[in-house]
Amino acid sequence: MEQAWKKINEILWECSYKFSSGISRSLLVKINENKFLVYSPGDKRTADLAKDIVPEGSELFLLAPNSYHNLGLAVWKASFPNSKPVAAVAAMGRLEKKTGIRSENLDVLESQLPKHISLIELPYNKIGEVWLDIQVPGERIWTVCDAIFNFSTLPGGFMGFLMKLNRMGPGIEMSRMYQYLGTSNKNGYGQWLLNEIREKKPTRLIPLHGEIYQSDDLIEKLETLAKSRLLNFAD
């Protein structure tokens, strides 16, 4: 896999990286000329390549989107000394145990964000999942971590079998593991998610696992996901 930061729009870039059991992506968000947000810091290569985008001396906020996305915290912190790891309270304990790095509260980051970028901290969440809500002219982008996947196809072999068993695709999906272990209140989370979808009306979904999705039926697909996987409207 050839790694490169790909520009999505004027303030957003994405770069894929490999981890032990698959492929994920990092996102780089420009807050202003000398402040950037890294959503799910990836491997050392993603950090090295980011130096072509991030001006020297810039302040970086390293957002671990949940307690399991901790691979790149140490390498990014070493590559960018002027950086601050941040995470939801529910994710902090495991992150520090795995990396030895103490994260700061989300409000440290939120106080620096412009109006068109905001954090979505998932309620009833056991692993401290946080999404980004980015509004740019003509569209509203949601970045999501392990709560939603979008694999258009699944691989063959044993890995594909496990992914299918865990209901990780194909299409926009919520894994069985997250459905039953990631949330402490399925109904409460489902009602919240349905309200968020209807109120904010995202036009593009950027999952860390799977393909970016931008289509007129995105809201319908997300509503169906919330209803079927969390509110038991259908299954």
List, for residues 107-140, the tens digit of each pLDDT value.
999 999 999 999 999 999 999 999 999 999 999 9
8 Å CB contact between 67 and 127: yes
List, for residues 184-230, the tens digit of each pLDDT value.
999 999 999 999 999 999 999 999 999 999 999 999 999 999 999 99
Give residue 161's pLDDT.
58
Q: At what angle do helices 186-200 and 218-229 cross, to 10 degrees?
A: 170
Give residue 235's pLDDT.
45
**pLDDT of 178 strictly over 80:** yes
User: Which single residue is written with the structure tokens 């939120």?
Assistant: 110
Which residues span the domain enclosing 218?
A: 6-229
Q: The pTM is what?
A: 0.94
Which CATH number does the domain housing residue 19 bear?
Answer: 3.60.15.10
81 found inside a domain: yes
List, for residues 94-108, the tens digit of each pLDDT value.
999 999 999 999 999
Give the number of domains in the chain: 1
1 found inside a domain: no
